[in-house]
Amino acid sequence: MLYQCSKEEREFLDKYDASKYERPSVTTDIVVFTLDDLDRLSILMIKRGQFPYKDRWALPGGFLHTGKESVDDCARRELMEETGIEEAFFSQLYTFGAPDRDPRTTVISVAYMALIPKHRLQICAGDDAKEAGIFQIKYDVDGMQFSNEKMTIRESDLAFDHANVIRMAIFRLRNRIDYEDDAFSLLKDTEEFTISELKKIHETIKNKSLDLPNFRKSFLRDYVKSGKVQELDKTIVSKGKPAKLYKLTGGDAS
């Protein structure tokens, strides 16, 4: 944004002392959703190496490099640093601004959510300096649980207000899935996928099973007829009748 202004205003700006207002720290936190090997809804979390909440699990994220990047870019950079992923579906979720949500000082967190297929995450999740893990999201009587092969974490064990952030992210994801194209972002390969694969993603997110014939109908109506998705000549064989393959046109849904 080029800011044109008068000589008088330019002088004001040059003399402006940004430090006269006390300023908060700003971080971004990212809820990275993925599907695990059994197609269950999962999220990426990082074990904290320092205080506060040392050794507790938290969402990936970090401080804004003030003046050097936008808030969006900060989230993108953090995602890159924690997962190695350059480009991904990505959307701002909510800003959490309670003054005591971080015991150090006022830290305002702009939360984002991202949808990333598991195979793109696996490269990075294990061999990082910090401990990272992908946890399946479960529910019991008093809230969420996060578990993988090694361990289970209760929602009350998470760092900061991250349980809240995750709850809100799940809520938004479930609401968006019906009218946004988010589901495509979780496909293993947007250049070659079957209707059943896409249906599985919807089922996982909505946590209920869908009728395949009806799902196909809406898929053809909403995506193929409008040109967002293209039918390929190929089919894929596994068990039963070979399935038609489709391809997402016009770049990723990012």
Residues involved in catalysis = 131
**Do residues 139 and 41 touch, judged by C-beta distance below 8 A?**
no
Number of Cα atoms under 13 Å in the Cβ half of residue 51: 3
Contact characters 140-179, DNA, x per CB under 7 A: ----------------------------------------
Residue with tokens 């799902």: 215
- The set of residues, in sequence order, having a beta carbon less than 8 Å from that of 95 and lying 6+ positions away, is 108, 109, 110, 111
- Tokens 């490269």 appear where? 123
Q: Is 235 in the site for DNA (CB under 7 A)?
A: yes
Nearest CA to 111 among 208, 29, 38?
Answer: 29
Q: Please, what is the minimum distance in Å from the beta carbon of residue 138 to its own copies?
A: 25
Stretch that binds DNA, among 7-15, 27-35, 87-95, 189-197 (CB under 7 A): 189-197
Nearest to 63 by CA among 108, 114, 124: 108
- Shortest Å, Cβ 220 to DNA: 7
By a kind-dependent CB cut-off of 5 to 8 A, residue 108 interacts, out of DNA, its own copies, none, with its own copies
- Within 68-127, the residues that bind its own copies by CB under 8 A are 68-72, 74, 92, 94-101, 103-106, 108, 110
Which of 190, 28, 196, 195 lies closest to 120 in space, CA to CA?
Answer: 190
Q: Using alpha carbons only, what angle is made at residue 82 by residues 27 and 156, rounded to the nearest 5 degrees?
A: 65
**Which of 214, 226, 249, 254 is in the footprint of DNA by CB under 7 A?**
214
The reply on whether position 157 binds its own copies by CB under 8 A is: no
Distance CA 129, CA 127 (A): 7
251 in contact with DNA (CB under 7 A): no
Q: Which does 67 bind (CB under 5 to 8 A by kind): its own copies, DNA, none?
A: its own copies
d(CA 18, CA 250): 44
What residues contact residue 73 under an 8 Å CB cut-off, 6+ apart? none
240 near DNA, rule: CB under 7 A? yes
Q: Which is nearer to its own copies, 161 or 192 (CB)?
A: 161
Residue numbers at the binding site for its own copies (CB under 8 A): 1, 3, 5, 8-9, 12-13, 16, 18, 21-26, 50-52, 54, 63-72, 74, 92, 94-101, 103-106, 108, 110, 161
Residues that bind DNA (CB under 7 A): 194-196, 211-214, 216-218, 221, 235, 237-244
